[in-house]
Structure formats: C-alpha cells, structure tokens
Amino acid sequence: MPEEADLRDISRSEIIELNLGPHHPSTHGVFRAVVELDGEMVVDVVPHLGYLHRGYEKTCENKHYHQVIPLAERCDYMGASSNSLCYCLTLEKMLDVEVPERAQVIRVIMAELSRIFSHLFWLGTHGHDVGAMTPLFYMLREREEIMNLFELTAGGRLMPNYMRIGGLIRDLEEGFVERLQSFTEHFDRRVDEYETLLTKNAIYMDRTKGIGVLPLEEAIALGASGPMIRGSGLAWDIRKSEPYSGYEQYQFDVPVETGCDVYSRYLVRVAEMRQSNRILKQAIDRLPEGPIRAASPGVVFPPQEEIYTKMESLIHHFMLVVEGLKPLVGEYYQTIESARGEMGCYLVSDGGSKPYRLKWRAPAFVNLETLARMSRGYFFADLIAILSSIDIVLAEVDR
C-alpha cells in the first residue's frame, strides 16, 4: 500500500538548537554556546560571550598606572601574578627602568608558580569533565600548598598583588625559600601520581585521542597560542623566542606533541608542569642578594625605610601616590607566555598619569575562536571535552 511505503521511508531529521549555559557545571564559568545538533552529532557551535564583561579596558583609562595592577591581576584569575608581570614589564619598557636581578628571579618564581597553579586547576576540572573525579581533589590539595606560598609573599591567597612597576613591593619573608624548596622536591612525584591516574588510562585515551583535532595551519590562522599550538606541533614559546625577566638564563624544554587533539594538549600541559618545576629549582639556586626595586625616583616607589628618614623619598612617594607617574608619549606592546598562550598588553600613553588606551591581548579569547572549528562532526559529549581542553578563563575572554 502506498501509505505504508511512505511511512517506512519517512526519515525526518531536524537540527536541534541546544542552549549550553551561561549557568552550566561544565563550562568553567559563565559561557554560553548555542549548539546545533543533528541527533548527537555537533553541526555547529556559536559561542555567545560577554556574560562576564566587566569593562576592564575602560576602567583602566580612569586609573593611575599603579592602580591598574590589581585590576590586571583579576583578568586571568587562575594565574594572577602573570598578568601583573605582563603589565609591569610593559610599563618598565616604556619608562626605560631596569629591574634588579633579585626582583627578576623572584618574578620568575611567581610566574612559574602561577603557571603550575593554573595547569593544576585545568587538570582537575578537565578530568572532572571527562568523568575522572579523583584528580580534582588531589590537585586542590596541591593548590593549597601553592596558595600558602602566595600568602607568604604579600598576603593574598589568590591575588597576591606582589609586583610593582620597577620590581616588587617587599622582599621575601623568612620561611619562603625553604617552603618553596620542599614544594619543588615533592612536586615531581605528585605529577607522577596524576599521570598514573590519566595518561595510560584506557577510558581517558578513548575519550580524548583523535577528538578535537586542530591542524597546525588552522591553529596559526586562528591565532591560537600556548598549549593549543604546541599540541599541534609548533614549538613556539615566548619565553624562548622573546625572553623577558631573565628567562634566557634558565634551562628548560618546550614540550611539543604532534597529535593535534585533546590528548596531546593534556600531555603538553603535564610536561609543562614538570618543566616549570625545573625552572623553580634553578631559580632557588640562582637567587642573589640585592635590592628588590629599581632606584628610579619619580616613577618607582622608594624603599619603605627611606620614606620615614629622607625628605626627597617622602616627596617622591607623595607625588607618586597623589599624581601618579607620567611616562613619555608613545605606545608599546609587551607579551609574555602565560599558562594559556601569548598574553600581551598594548599601552598607549599621552603623557598623562592615566593610560590613554590599554588593550589586553587575552590568549583565552583568541583560543576560544577555535572551538567551532574543532567540534564540528564530533559527538556532543566530546564538545565538553574539547571545550575544557582549550582552558578558558571567562574573565580573560570577556574582560
């Protein structure tokens, strides 16, 4: 009968539009995506951003240069010290201020601790997204130890606000180096523990190998940097190609994988944690004595003791706090290798005490553009794994 034949032949397929977020346990923050699904296969992903847009760039235009430092730290709240490092380096280049050796080594320590801090959280939440809930609790234990170290520097567990233009705010506390030493000694074994949980785990490999492939040419065209591009085969690390803050004096490898998938990015990040530990050990050995802030009156805060004894220091301090420092007219772009990739600060100065324009090149913002390219044709469950492998921090994406 014609009707029966018609009924058997009807296979109607529609594209379902599914709204993911902004409140969702797996999106690592307030991220919203409209996913077009054909059954379980992803046809397209359209991200909708801006749910954490806090007007960072406009606010910075109304603050003195020193007042921007805590604002900058809250941009990438996973590794807060690397943000203030990038900003302070930009200002130091613009003002032509040379940071003393001890401050440079301590800055490297803070930057590497921030990198480990960020990668640990990524590891825990990525494992949680894929289904492995154990690494989350292990790495939160590790992060408490690092937060103790941050607290020893300047009092803040998450945002220490330790860096200043020209150096650091104060010298290291009494027990810091010993604590850091014991941390670096046992951290390698901890990373081995995490690897036994995931690296050769058959379920994890099934869920992540061959998923979310981003070929190298497309990664470059879409502006991906950091572990995204190192997982696709290019050994590009700004610490090696354009070194800053004394990184050329340290010996470390740049881990590269050629798989271009979620698994390769996982391997790259775990290897980076080991290399950061290596840098930390070298930094502890290398730590010299000396001042922790450049002596550049008019732009850098004078040492605390001198304010109470010398008149000029008091006046300089007063002018810096009330009026702020005034760089020359000009613009500069400084990049660092943050945990997510190329983080940059483009600063335009008009000679006044507030930035004329501050543009923050956030790596997570640019890396997130690759999401649509990487998820087409995979299952919806893989989309969550792919999203977590990009390692986004919404405060940086939305600024």
Partner 1 sequence: MNQESIGEKLLAKFGPDVIRTAVTFRDQVAVTVAKERILDVCKFLKEDPELAFNFLSFVAGVDRYPETPRFEVVYQLYSLKRNHRFRIKALVEESEPGSAVIDSVASIWPTANWHERETAEMFGMTFRNHPDPRKLLLPEDWTCHPLRKDFPLYGTDEDTPDLRSKAGSQGI
Partner 2 sequence: MGIERHLNDTVHVTNLEWFVNWARKSSMWPLGFGLACCALEMIATFVSRYDLSRFGMEVARPSPRHADLMIVSGTASKKMLPAILRIYEQMAEPRWVIAMGACACTGGIYKNYAVVQGIDRWLPVDVYIPGCPPRPESLLDGILQLHAKVMKEQSIHNPRVTNIKVAGR
Number of C-beta neighbours around residue 169 at 10 A: 17
| Smallest separation (angstroms) from partner 1 to the CB of 68 | 14
- Report what 222 binds from partner 2, partner 1, none; CB cut-off 5-8 Å by kind: partner 1
Is 107 in contact with 245 (CB distance < 8 Å)? yes
Q: What is the CA radius of gyration of the chain?
A: 23
Closer residue to partner 2 (CB): 43 or 147: 147
Closer residue to partner 2 (CB): 22 or 100: 22
Q: Where are the alpha helices (DSSP H) in the chain?
A: 2-9, 56-60, 68-73, 80-95, 101-130, 134-154, 176-198, 202-208, 216-221, 227-230, 238-241, 262-286, 304-307, 311-322, 363-367, 370-375, 380-390, 394-398
- Report what 253 binds from partner 2, partner 1, none; CB cut-off 5-8 Å by kind: none
- Report what 147 binds from partner 2, partner 1, none; CB cut-off 5-8 Å by kind: partner 2
| Smallest separation (angstroms) from partner 1 to the CB of 168 | 23
Q: Which two tokens stand for residue 95?
A: 């003002």
Give me the residues that bind partner 2 (CB under 8 A), please. Answer: 22-25, 29-30, 50-56, 58-59, 70-71, 74, 77-78, 121, 137, 140-141, 143-144, 147, 157-159, 394-395, 398
Of the candidates 170, 165, 169, 218, the one whose C-alpha atom is nearest the C-alpha of residue 334 is 165
**C-alpha dihedral, 101 to 106 to 112 to 117, nearest 10°:** -170
Quote the DSSP letter at residue 378. Answer: S
Sheet order of strands, 330-338 included:
330-338, 341-349, 357-361
- Report what 30 binds from partner 2, partner 1, none; CB cut-off 5-8 Å by kind: partner 2
Closer residue to partner 1 (CB): 222 or 385: 222
| Smallest separation (angstroms) from partner 1 to the CB of 325 | 16
| Smallest separation (angstroms) from partner 2 to the CB of 146 | 12
d(CA 35, CA 29): 17
- Report what 372 binds from partner 1, partner 2, none; CB cut-off 5-8 Å by kind: none
Tell me whether residue 145 is exposed, middle or buried, using C-beta atoms within 10 angstroms of its C-beta: 0 to 12, 13 to 18, 19 or more.
middle
Closer residue to partner 1 (CB): 221 or 315: 221
Give me the residues that bind partner 1 (CB under 8 A), please. Answer: 22, 49-50, 53, 55, 57-59, 61-62, 93-94, 96, 220-223, 234, 236, 241-242, 328, 330-333, 335, 342, 344, 346, 348, 356-357, 359, 361, 365-366, 369, 398-399
